[in-house]
């Protein structure tokens, strides 16, 4: 529970904080040695409140680029307001959020960094709002957030047992129409995004349209299938080699509480198809918003062992990711590890191994990009209030 200060039943606010960090050991293929460093993955302060029965607000900060722990790294870290949301929440059927918020496309983004099933969760190519590192001219958002408005709610259609959740809206998206910046979007076109989720078993009970990638069995059996999309005219490429951007995603969460207290089995799956048909020659343009063009998928399986060992429970898992750009080299990664769950998302530790070329090739989708397959070991922890 976060500390809560209440004026009366309809006016209150809460304050919270979250921190995620990792020790990282990366193989150097030339020497066979491992370079080690510490990464501050996330450091946030959360403020939530209500000023009227139907009016709420939410804001939180983030340490931008805070995983730079070496003297020569650039850009340097800075602490900024990542989200600032005004909320009109009427009932379960129709609600409106406005401000700077997460864009409703995929479960991975809407779970945020703190409600993922694994610590190092963001593997498939980012949507524009996460591919970018700035708001405003020359950028398309930051860490999955952008400025705009979102309508969201849920209904029970009746013809199929379950609950249908929806979220969608209009956002600033990639902006490049200024005298100082040449980029593909010279017409000030906006970005549209939306997501539909069907829960066939128990409903997911989260604030707003946010999600989680596991519930550790505390929500019962979950089967959630979802589709999401994002579109922006002239949302990719460069001034000389531009194209529209269309991103499609389908994801699934299945969580089964095994009978006779035999533990909890969880599977997360995701498939993405991005259409950004700019010419490969755009990679030579300094103003290129060279977002991913192609398909990708990832799947994760986890098993929460029901026995308490010390102060927590072990949760071994495995994951495979494949990224297949249309004009660049294919990249893959396997991951195996174990989570030590002390208090759900509030306190946990993870140790895991990764092998592949996702790290060496990164988010560079140029035709000539190369990178070795390397071994990576990580020890991570998360604290949240």
Q: Check residue 281 and give its pLDDT.
A: 93
283 vs 181: CA distance, rounded Å: 16
Start-to-end C-alpha separation, the chain: 7
Q: Collect all residues with Cβ–Cβ distance below 8 Å to 158 and sequence separation of at least 6.
A: none
In this structure, which long-range contacts are made by residues 77-86, counting pairs with CB atoms below 8 Å and at least 24 apart in sequence?
77/40, 79/43, 82/44, 82/142, 82/143, 82/145, 83/58, 83/59, 83/145, 84/58, 84/59, 85/57, 85/58, 85/59, 86/55, 86/56, 86/57
Per-residue pLDDT averaged across 12-41, rounded?
86
85 vs 109: CA distance, rounded Å: 17
User: Which pTM was predicted?
Assistant: 0.93
3-state DSSP of 190-242: CEEEEEEEEECCCCCCCCCCCCCCCCCCCCCCEEEEEEEEEEEEEEEECCCCE
Distances (CA, A) of 331 to 123, 226, 296, 320, 357: 11, 25, 10, 11, 6
Per-residue pLDDT averaged across 123-146, rounded?
93
pLDDT single digits (tens) 315-364: 999 999 999 999 999 999 999 999 999 999 999 999 999 999 999 999 99
Q: Check residue 180 and give its pLDDT.
A: 62
Per-residue pLDDT averaged across 98-110, rounded?
97
Range of the domain at 42: 1-384
pLDDT single digits (tens) 49-77: 999 999 999 999 998 877 766 667 777 77
pLDDT > 70 in the chain, percent: 97
Would you place residue 379 in the very low, low, confident or very high pLDDT band (cuts 50, 70, 90)?
very high
- Which domain CATH number covers 67? 2.40.160.10
Per-residue pLDDT averaged across 179-205, rounded?
91
CB contact at 8 A, 199 and 163: yes
179, pLDDT greater than 90: no
Sign of torsion over alpha carbons 357, 360, 364, 366: negative
Q: Check residue 349 and give its pLDDT.
A: 98
More confident residue, 177 or 287: 287
If you average pLDDT over every residue of the chain, what do you get?
93
Per-residue pLDDT averaged across 195-220, rounded?
96
Q: Is residue 155 classed as helix, strand or coil in its secondary structure? A: strand
116, pLDDT greater than 70: yes
162, pLDDT greater than 90: yes
Would you place residue 181 in the very low, low, confident or very high pLDDT band (cuts 50, 70, 90)?
low
Tally of domains in the chain: 1
32, pLDDT greater than 70: no
């Amino acid at each position: 529970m976060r500390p809560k200060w209440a004026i009366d039943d309809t006016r209150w606010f809460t304050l919270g904080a979250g921190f995620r960090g990792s020790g990282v050991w990366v193989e150097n293929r030339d020497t066979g040695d491992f370079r080690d460093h510490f990464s501050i993955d996330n450091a946030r302060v959360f403020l939530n409140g209500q000023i009227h029965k139907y009016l709420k607000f939410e804001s939180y900060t983030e340490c931008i680029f805070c995983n730079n722990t070496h003297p020569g790294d650039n850009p340097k870290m800075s602490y900024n307001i990542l989200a600032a949301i005004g909320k009109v929440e009427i009932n379960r059927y129709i609600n409106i959020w406005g401000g700077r918020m997460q864009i409703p496309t995929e479960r991975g983004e809407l779970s945020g960094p703190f409600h993922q099933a694994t610590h190092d969760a963001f593997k498939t190519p980012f949507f524009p709002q996460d591919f970018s590192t700035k708001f405003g001219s020359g950028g398309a958002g930051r860490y999955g957030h952008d400025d705009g408005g979102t309508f969201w709610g849920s209904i029970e259609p009746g013809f199929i047992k379950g609950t249908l959740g929806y979220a969608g809206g209009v956002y600033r998206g990639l902006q490049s129409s200024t005298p100082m910046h040449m980029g593909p979007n010279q017409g000030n076109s906006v970005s549209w995004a939306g997501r539909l989720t069907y829960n066939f078993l128990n409903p997911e009970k989260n604030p707003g349209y946010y999600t989680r990638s596991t519930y550790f069995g505390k929500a019962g059996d979950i089967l959630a299938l979802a589709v999401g999309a994002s579109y922006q005219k002239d949302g990719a490429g460069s001034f000389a080699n531009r194209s529209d951007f269309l991103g499609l995603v389908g994801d699934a969460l299945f969580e089964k509480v095994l009978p006779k207290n035999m533990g909890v089995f969880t599977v997360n799956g995701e498939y993405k198809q991005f259409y950004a048909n700019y010419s490969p020659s755009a990679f030579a343009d300094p103003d290129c918003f060279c977002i991913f063009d192609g398909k990708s998928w990832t799947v994760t399986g986890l098993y929460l062992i029901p026995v308490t060992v010390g102060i927590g429970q072990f949760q071994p898992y495995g994951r495979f990711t494949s990224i297949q750009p249309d004009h660049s080299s294919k990249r893959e990664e396997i991951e195996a590890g174990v989570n030590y769950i002390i208090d759900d998302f509030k306190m946990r530790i993870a140790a895991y191994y990764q092998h592949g070329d996702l790290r060496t090739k990164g988010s560079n989708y140029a035709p000539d990009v190369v990178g070795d397959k390397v071994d990576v070991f990580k020890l991570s922890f998360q604290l949240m209030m």
